[in-house]
Amino acid sequence: MTGLHSHRLLAVAPDLHEGLMEIAAEFEANWNDFVERDENGLTGGALPFRRRLLSLFSGES
């Protein structure tokens, strides 16, 4: 299983709840930027990251 770092999720917060909320917001932003966007508009470096995000829900790595 890949770690949060490989999915570009980082949070600095005063407590766990706020940290988890920040991570959820970061995940949503990444999803919108890399998965919801047309794949043809992504650069070569963004394509593997898009596949990693999608693999979280398909069970592939």
Residuewise pLDDT in 10s, the chain (61 residues): 345 556 667 788 999 999 999 999 999 999 999 999 999 999 998 999 999 899 988 865 5
Sign of CA dihedral 32, 53, 5, 11: positive
CA–CA distance, 10 with 33 (Å, rounded to integer): 16
> What global pTM score does this model have?
0.74
First-last CA distance in the chain: 8
